[in-house]
Amino acid sequence: MTGIGAINRSPSLTEALVPKLERLACALKNWLESSAYIAFHQGARQELDQIAGDLQRAAACLSQEKPLLLIVLMGGTGVGKSTLLNALARAPIAESSLVRPTTREPLVYCHESVADDDLDERLRQCRVVRHSRPELRQKIIVDAPDLDSQEEANRHKLQAILPAADVVLYVGSQEKYHDRLGWELLLSQRRRRAFAFVLNKWDRCVHGQSATGRRPDEDLERDLRAHGFDEPLIFRTCAAAWADARVSSTSLPPGEEFHRLEEWLHHLLTDREIAAIKAQGVILLLRRLSELLTSVQPPAVEHLLDRIRRAWHDEWRTQAEQLTTLLLHFLDSRADGINAQLAAEMRSHLHGGLALVAALGALRNKMASFRRWHRGLTGVLKPAGAPATQDAFPALLDWLSDVATEAQLTLRLAAIPQRLVILAAEAGYPARPMAQAFEELGQDWQRTVSAAMRQQMHAIKPTWRVTAGPRSWSQSALLWIGTWAPWTLALVTLFFLIYRTFAADGSISLWSLILLPGTVFVVCSLCLYAILMRFFPAAWDSVRGDVSCRAAQALGASFEQIFEPILARTTETLQRERKLVQDLIEQCRAAVSLAEHPAQFADVAALFAGPASPAVTRTSNEEHK
């Protein structure tokens, strides 16, 4: 203990550390409350919540003038925890008997100067026995319930107290020093707080010693070394003898060390050691926190974004094409309605004989579509909600595409987010936040898609007239010829007949005079109409390309508009959370380096476990599972 003087606990340490811890605890709590990402790590979340509370308590404790050291007696039933406390208190304050389990409620043994408010909140409900011994002024000793009896409630009580403990005094007996339940608890806590060991009932350990087997204290020490305690502090005691207060040194077995335990408790745990233990406890807490935070920190995703975006673009282009194919197929089966619209538009450009023929054609089409509609041949989907007047071409397309979306496309659209999540996951993006973002999107986006498509459909002006290029000239020419040629030919025929009648002195009936030019007019119109239709058909096919192009464009654009922000939004959330967690880790690191700086803890090092030797790491990992 010569090194104590070298440690100078400067007041600036606590002054600097306490606010840091408080800030960290506050930031941690805020993050836990606001974070959406932590929901994916429920197991870690509970522990983080607990650590946040522990940090605040540690900060409060460090800010006290004279910090209190909480020593918890932990061990199986009947090993003599209560007896040990009685021996330490030199009075029968704790019940100890043959009944197992003996202690059912924790018993707190502390100095009279300690007010109820100074106690940890978890201890305030317990029975408190106060003393006036100055050497134990800053130390609170708690006799905890057992950890291995049939009473499971006792184990929970112990586990509720443990997080508050600064030092755990692990009490074992010859029978129980190696029991699994205690050992597992020790292993799970060994990197979290200080441990000292008591091997009670020492008389039984040396009793009946034979040539085979190790002595319990050697056995215990060996295993503790393997699990990271390089110089474990083990006290061999016969507490029952000391509690009896009828001790004569002759009746004690050799190597009994109750006095050493008392000495350690009374004099070797001075202010400096207490501060060092507290600081080391804070460091362990911070290390655990930083480990947990690292495990729940969202991964960096920035470098994946380009790849995902490319994959998504490809995906929705393919999807848009497939959907357009489906839509066009649907429209194909209802081409006659569209054709009728186109023909009506075409008729407005026709004059004379062509107009007459076109009117006949329209009548024919109407008849045909009426009959087919009437007989239900157009398919299963009856046009129940068809627009009453099918005058407006876009309205018709609207209606058709809405029907198609409702009936056919919804299933395909619903499958797209799944595909996008899979693509992102394949690129290495965390799947669950992404899936959740798509879930939050709901179903409304499907309506947005059909609205976008409707808008594009409105832009389609079905026009039969070709607007530019040589085709437009030839169409104009044909139209001109079509308008005037039948008249001209009919007139020519009429004049020829009149000429024949009068000049050539032929006789001709009045009927012939009307019928023949009329026939010429009709035949000529029919021929020209046929030629016109051959080169400039008024059919669904002529707008099909336009519709297909626009539908694909509308779908692609709306996919991009809807889905692109999701990637950005999710990434932004992840980055924000990542940065927050990174900040917390940095704060942890800063606090650790601050706490580590002045105290080298040489004198309390024996109480803390280092890393376990590689041979046992495997076994202890298995045990943790």
Partner 1 sequence: MHENVSAEQMFEQMAQDLSWLARRAQAQGRSPETCLRLSLAAAIARHSFRCAASACLPPIALVAVIGGAGSGKSTVTNLCIGRAVAETNPQAGYTRHPIVYVSARVSQESWCRHLFGQRLQYHAGHVPADHDADIYQVRTPADAEGVLLQRVMLWDCPDMTTWQAQGYVQRLIEILGLADIVVFVASDERYNDEIPNTFLKLLVEAGKRLVVCLTKMRPEDAQHLCSLYREKVLAALSAQADGIPCLPLPHLAPEVLGRPELAPQITHQLHSVLLTLADPLPSLRGQKQRQERSFVSAALATAQAVVADELSVLSQWHQVVAAGRSQFEERFRREYLSQENFPRFNESMARLVELLEIPGLSHVMRILRLPWRSLKSLLGWARSAPAVHLPEETTLRPAFAAWLDLLLHEALRRQADHPLWVRVREELQGAWRRKLAEDFERLLSQFAREQSQAVEALARSIHEELAKNPLALNSLRGLKFTIEAGSVAGVVAFMGLNVWDLAWPFIIPPLVQELVELMGEQYVNAEREKARRRQLELLQTVLSDPLTETLVQWPIREVESLKTAAAIGARLPDARRQLETWPLDAAAPPAATG
Yes or no: say if 215 and 202 are a contact pair by the CB < 8 Å rule: no
CB of 47 to partner 1, least distance (A): 16
Nearest-approach distance from CB 429 to partner 1, in angstroms: 10
Which of these segments, 83-91, 244-252, 423-431, 529-537, binds partner 1 (CB under 8 A)? 423-431
Within positions 337 to 396, which residues make up the interface with partner 1, using CB under 8 A? 363-365, 367-368, 371-372, 375-381
Choice between 84 and 140, CB closer to partner 1: 84
Region of 81-89, 327-335, 473-481, 585-593 interacting with partner 1 (CB under 8 A)? 327-335
Look at residue 130 and give its three-state secondary structure.
strand
Q: Nearer Cβ to partner 1, position 204 or 266? A: 204
User: Token match 């002054």: residue?
Assistant: 15
For residue 7, give the amino acid letter: I
Q: Is 332 in the site for partner 1 (CB under 8 A)?
A: yes
- ∠ CA 588-590-592, nearest 5°, is 65
The rounded distance, in Å, linking the Cα atoms of 20 and 248 is: 53
**Considering only CA atoms, which of 486, 50, 619 is closest in space to residue 494?**
486
Is 304 or 422 the residue whose CB approaches partner 1 more closely? Answer: 422
Half-sphere exposure of 213 (CA within 13 A, CB side): 10
**Phi, psi (deg, nearest 5) at residue 165:** -70, 140
Closer residue to partner 1 in complex, CB, 108/220: 220
Question: Least CB distance from residue 15 to partner 1, whole Å?
Answer: 43
Q: Cβ distance 430 to 299 under 8 Å?
A: yes
Least distance (Å) between residue 458 CB and partner 1: 25
Show Cβ contacts of residue 446 under 8 Å, excluding neighbours closer than 6 positions. Answer: 405, 410, 413, 414
DSSP state of 617: H
Q: How far is the CB of 323 from partner 1 (least distance, A)?
A: 10
Please state, as a whole number, how many other Cβ atoms lie within 10 Å of the Cβ of residue 335: 15
Map residue 247 onto helix, strand or coil: coil
Complex with partner 1: residue 132 or 150, whichever CB lies closer: 150
Q: Minimum Å distance from CB 51 to partner 1? A: 22
Supply the Cα-derived Rg of the chain in whole angstroms.
47
Q: How far apart are CA 285 and CA 496, in angstroms?
A: 116
Select the residue interacting with partner 1 from 266, 419, 500, 544 (CB under 8 A): 419
Nearer Cβ to partner 1 (302/623): 623
Sign of CA dihedral 544, 546, 548, 554: negative
| Residues β-bridged to residue 143 | 73, 107
Main-chain phi, psi angles of 144, to 5 degrees: -95, 160
Q: Does 250 bind partner 1 (CB under 8 A)?
A: no
CB of residue 81 to partner 1, shortest distance in Å: 12
214 lies in the binding site for partner 1 (CB under 8 A): yes
Q: Residue 209, interface with partner 1 (CB under 8 A)?
A: yes
Nearest distance from C-beta of residue 180 to partner 1, angstroms: 4
- Count of residues of this chain found to bind partner 1 when the rule CB under 8 A is applied: 75
The site map against partner 1 for 269-308 (x = CB under 8 A) is ----------------------------------------
Give the Å distances, CA to CA, from 376 to 103, 133, 403: 87, 103, 17
Segment lying near partner 1 (by CB under 8 A), choices 31-39, 212-220, 515-523, 570-578 = 212-220
Cα of 313 vs its chain's centroid, Å: 24
| Comparison of 264 and 373: residue with beta carbon closer to partner 1 | 373
**Closest to partner 1 by CB, 414 or 498:** 414
71 pairs with which residues across the strands? 141, 167
Determine the distance from the C-alpha atom of residue 392 to the mean position of all C-alpha atoms in its chain, rounded to a whole number: 49
Which range touches partner 1 (CB under 8 A), out of 112-120, 407-415, 455-463, 501-509? 407-415
**Is the peptide bond prior to 101 cis by the omega test (within 30 degrees of 0)?**
yes
Q: Is 403 in the site for partner 1 (CB under 8 A)?
A: no
3-state DSSP assignment of residue 139: strand
Question: For the chain, what's the residue count?
Answer: 625
Residue from the set 90, 127, 207, 310 that interacts with partner 1 by CB under 8 A:
207
Closest CA to 498 of 513, 486, 488: 513
Which of 412, 461, 465, 589 forms a contact with partner 1 (CB under 8 A)? Answer: 412
Which CB sits closer to partner 1, 61 or 147? Answer: 147
Instruction: Please report, as residue ranges, which positions from 426 to 455 form the binding site for partner 1 (by CB under 8 A).
Output: 426, 431-432, 435
Work out how close the CB of 131 gets to partner 1 at its nearest, in angstroms, rounded to a whole number: 28
Give the footprint of partner 1 on residues 536-555 (CB under 8 A): none
Q: Which is nearer to partner 1, 522 or 590 (CB)?
A: 522
Residue 609 — φ and ψ, nearest 5°?
-85, 140
What does the DSSP assignment read for 7-37?
A: ----HHHHHHHHHHHHHHHHHHHHHHHH-SG
Distance CA 56, CA 164 (A): 12
225 is a contact residue toward partner 1 (CB under 8 A): no
* Sole binder of partner 1 in the list 100, 124, 471, 618 (CB under 8 A): 100
Rounded Cα distance, 199 and 217, in Å: 7
- Which CB sits closer to partner 1, 201 or 278? 201
| Of residues 440 and 505, the one with the C-beta less far from partner 1 | 440
Among 52, 74, 79, 265, binds partner 1 (CB under 8 A): 79
Count of C-beta atoms within a 10 Å radius of residue 594 = 19
By CB under 8 A, is residue 509 in contact with partner 1? Answer: no
Measured from the CB atom, is 139 or 236 closer to partner 1?
A: 236
407 near partner 1, rule: CB under 8 A: yes
Cβ atoms of residues 105 and 145 within 8 Å: yes
**Residues 87, 239: contact at Cβ < 8 Å?**
yes
Q: Which stretch binds partner 1 (CB under 8 A): 1-9, 404-412, 501-509, 597-605?
A: 404-412
Among 20, 72, 76, 536, binds partner 1 (CB under 8 A): 76
Beta-strand pair 139-143/107-111: antiparallel
State which of residues 56, 159, 270, 408 lies at the interface with partner 1 (CB under 8 A).
408
Residue whose C-alpha is closest to residue 392's, from 442, 342, 438: 342
Q: Which stretch binds partner 1 (CB under 8 A): 66-74, 113-121, 146-154, 589-597?
A: 146-154
Binders in 159-198 for partner 1, by CB under 8 A: 173-181, 183-184
- 215 binds partner 1 per the rule CB under 8 A: yes
- Contact call for residue 101 and partner 1 (CB under 8 A): yes
Q: Does 49 bind partner 1 (CB under 8 A)?
A: no
